[in-house]
Chains A and B, each alone.
Chain A
Amino acid sequence: MTESTVFPDTQPQVFPDVWVHRNALGLEIGSEVPTGIPSNALAAFFAAVQVTWEIRETLWMLVLRDFKGRYRAQALGLFWSLAHPLVMMVTTTIAFDYVLRVQIPYFPVFYLVGAIYWQFFTNAILAATGAMTDNGGLIKHTTFPRFLFPIAAVLSHLIHFGMELLLVFAFFFVFPDAYRFNFTLVALPLLVFLILLISIGVGLMVSVLHAKYRDLYYVVTSLITVGFWGTPILYSTAMAPAWLRPLLRLNPVGGVIEGARDIMMNGKWPNLEYLLPAFVTGVVVFVVGCLVFRKENLRVSDYV
């Protein structure tokens, strides 16, 4: 064969001295002779973080693909996604503020702050549920790290959430008295980070389990309906009877919402009384999500 010009890199390939061993228990990275014991979870976690950073551009492309894909062939795609919370805001305000006469000041803003966090959480979880099954081709046929599929699904809804958050800020011009903006706003990204952590944790777990148990989709949608009423969206935890409050505070999404309201509507730092339980459950959910993913990931390509 004549000398080819097709390849940009003409150096001979150098094989690294790092061995990757795969057995029934999992993945082990090390020297030539395997020990038979997979690399420990913590090492795997940091390796995953490193990989994510290395291929962040590809992750971003996946996020954009998911995001754009949602509005494919829709003339007013983005408009609808912002119109939905607005329609809900008007409807719930009529029902709760005017008909049921709930004693909550600035109910439209109160509701909207809670609703956008809840919407982000549920949309992210639903998208993550299908992340493995929808990307079946890639999962079966490429070596791309799979944990990035549910994460990309979650992140694509974070873009959405960002726009909805701007919408909440824009309502300052309609209800200026509902807001107290001050330096506590610097804590807002922390709450976003917390809900992102929770969403990724749950997302990792449901994505792999859904590959194996397709019924999970119905379980998830049912739990979301239950979760809506178990989360302080239409009420605040303070309104609940004292015995119920500790239970409600186990819901990390609720803690995030209460915190966001305190920051945006009261100009107060989030209260540790609800933020601490939210943070603890959030971290637990994340760790459990990672561990379930690590276990089920070994078999996921058999099921998609």
Chain B
Amino acid sequence: MTNVAIRASDVGKHFYRVHEKPMLLREAAMLFSGRRRRVDDLWAVRHVTFDLHEGETLGVLGPNGSGKSTLLTVVAGTAYPNEGTISTRGRISTLLSLGAGFHPDMTGEENIITSAGLLGIPVEEARRRMTSIVEFAELESVIDTQIRHYSSGMMARLGFAIAIHVSPNILVIDEVFAVGDIAFQTKCLDALRELKSRGITILFASQAPLMVAEFCSRALWLEGGTTKMLANATEVAEAYQVAMTGRTIGEEVAEALSHAV
């Protein structure tokens, strides 16, 4: 009996650069002429292998376009790998983008019910958790308002509050709560820490090495879709920070503080 929760074995995912949206006629013509232009595939993620145990938190670091989001969608199961196997155990809750699944014409409350349903929570259970979700998002005053009138920060709060309230085994988050204000960000991190302490496995893409170092147990540094480094979080975060800015996290923080004085 193992306690691995997520296993990526040589995972690769590519997109077609040429015909991102292939046309019926062109594709048909190519089939008839016997040449299928699949040569310039763009591998967004390739040869990624890791085991993540129950209760572990893996931070995914990397510059823009390095394949972080793609890897997350493959783990979450919204996209299938083209190579290798991704294996998961348990219910997955996702927070991959702001306001995905929210319907602008429905009220906050209706959206909570629908979104929770989309994440696998029955209506009755969602109603029971309603107060707690609204309280966490601190949106008591606007919960009966249509989502279209929410600010992006409010949507982020609501999305995050729902994602952590659906009793997942695995939580996949794509740096979305950066939109919330600083008080809410702190609250999110506290909530994530509590989820972690209860044994939930978290996969967490971020641009902030400091946050990864502070919050994650391990980290994966992606570059050009492949693994540049996979080790304990502080080590990777430090290396990533140095590679990106030429300074360590400590220097970075000291620098910021010195400007503030």
A binds B: yes
Known contacts A140-B97, A141-B78, A298-B80; A15 and B5 CB within 8 A of each other: yes
CB contacts (< 8 Å) of B101 on chain A: these are 137-138, 141-142, 144
Cβ contact of B123, chosen from A58, A69, A219, cutoff 8 A: A58
Q: Binary interface profile of A, 1-31, with partner B (CB < 8 Å = 1, else 0)? A: 1001011111111111111111110110000
Cβ contact of A23, chosen from B77, B80, B89, B120, cutoff 8 A: B80
Do the beta carbons of A19 and B85 come within 8 Å of each other? no
Known contacts A13-B199, A58-B114; A301 and B90 CB within 8 A of each other: no
Cβ contact of A213, chosen from B27, B83, B87, B88, cutoff 8 A: B27
B82 within 8 A of partner (CB): yes
Using a Cβ cutoff of 8 Å, how many contacts connect chains A and B? 163
Do the beta carbons of A142 and B114 come within 8 Å of each other? no
CB distance from B42 to the nearest CB of A (A): 11
B198 within 8 A of partner (CB): yes
Do the beta carbons of B22 and A6 come within 8 Å of each other? no
A34 within 8 A of partner (CB): yes
Please give me the residue from chain B that is nearest to A298 by CB atom.
Answer: B80
Cβ contact of B23, chosen from A18, A215, A298, cutoff 8 A: A215
Q: Which of B85, B86, B118, B135 has the most CB of A within 10 A?
A: B118
B190 within 8 A of partner (CB): yes
Do the beta carbons of A15 and B165 come within 8 Å of each other? no
Do the beta carbons of B89 and A302 come within 8 Å of each other? no
Please give me the residue from chain A that is nearest to B200 by CB atom.
Answer: A13
Do the beta carbons of B100 and A142 come within 8 Å of each other? yes
Do the beta carbons of B117 and A9 come within 8 Å of each other? no
B25 within 8 A of partner (CB): yes
CB contacts (< 8 Å) of A19 on chain B: these are 87-89
B103 within 8 A of partner (CB): yes
A214 within 8 A of partner (CB): yes
Do the beta carbons of A4 and B85 come within 8 Å of each other? no
Cα–Cα distance between A15 and B119 once the two chains are bound (Å): 17
CB distance from B117 to the nearest CB of A (A): 3
A177 within 8 A of partner (CB): no
Q: Which of A22, A27, A144, A215 has the most CB of B within 10 A?
A: A22
CB contacts (< 8 Å) of A12 on chain B: these are 198-199
Interface residues of B in 142-156 (CB under 8 A from A): none
CB contacts (< 8 Å) of A27 on chain B: these are 80
Cα–Cα distance between A302 and B82 once the two chains are bound (Å): 11
> Chain B interface: which size bin?
35 or more
Cβ contact of A20, chosen from B89, B123, B167, cutoff 8 A: B89
Do the beta carbons of A23 and B85 come within 8 Å of each other? yes
CB contacts (< 8 Å) of B168 on chain A: these are 13
Cβ contact of A142, chosen from B16, B94, B103, cutoff 8 A: B94
Do the beta carbons of A61 and B117 come within 8 Å of each other? yes
Cα–Cα distance between A141 and B97 once the two chains are bound (Å): 7
Known contacts A22-B85, A58-B123; A142 and B165 CB within 8 A of each other: no
Known contacts A15-B54, A139-B78, A219-B24; A61 and B89 CB within 8 A of each other: no
Interface residues of A in 83-123 (CB under 8 A from B): none
B193 within 8 A of partner (CB): yes
CB distance from B185 to the nearest CB of A (A): 14
A165 within 8 A of partner (CB): no
Cα–Cα distance between A61 and B115 once the two chains are bound (Å): 10
Cβ contact of B105, chosen from A21, A69, A303, cutoff 8 A: A69
Q: Binary interface profile of A, 149-171, with partner B (CB < 8 Å = 1, else 0)? A: 00000000000000000000000
Do the beta carbons of B80 and A143 come within 8 Å of each other? no
Do the beta carbons of B100 and A138 come within 8 Å of each other? yes
Do the beta carbons of A143 and B81 come within 8 Å of each other? no
B224 within 8 A of partner (CB): no
B136 within 8 A of partner (CB): yes
Known contacts A9-B167, A13-B200; A1 and B81 CB within 8 A of each other: no
Cα–Cα distance between A193 and B88 once the two chains are bound (Å): 37
Please give me the residue from chain B that is nearest to A3 by CB atom.
Answer: B194
Q: Binary interface profile of B, 157-188, with partner A (CB < 8 Å = 1, else 0)? A: 00000001101110000000000000000000
> What are 19 residue pairs bridging A and B, where the CB atoms are less than 8 Å apart in the complex?
A6-B165, A9-B167, A13-B200, A15-B5, A19-B89, A21-B86, A22-B80, A22-B85, A23-B81, A32-B4, A58-B123, A137-B99, A140-B97, A141-B101, A142-B118, A143-B119, A144-B118, A301-B73, A301-B78
Known: A58-B114, A213-B23. 9 other contacts (CB 8 A): A4-B190, A13-B199, A24-B80, A32-B2, A36-B85, A55-B117, A65-B103, A142-B78, A215-B24
Contact residues of A with B, CB < 8 Å? Answer: 1, 4, 6-24, 26-27, 32, 34, 36, 55, 57-58, 61-62, 65, 69, 72, 137-144, 212-216, 219, 298-299, 301-303
Contact residues of B with A, CB < 8 Å? Answer: 1-5, 15-16, 20-25, 27, 54, 73-74, 76-90, 92, 94, 96-97, 99-101, 103, 105-106, 113-114, 117-120, 122-123, 128-129, 132, 135-136, 164-165, 167-169, 190-191, 193-194, 198-200
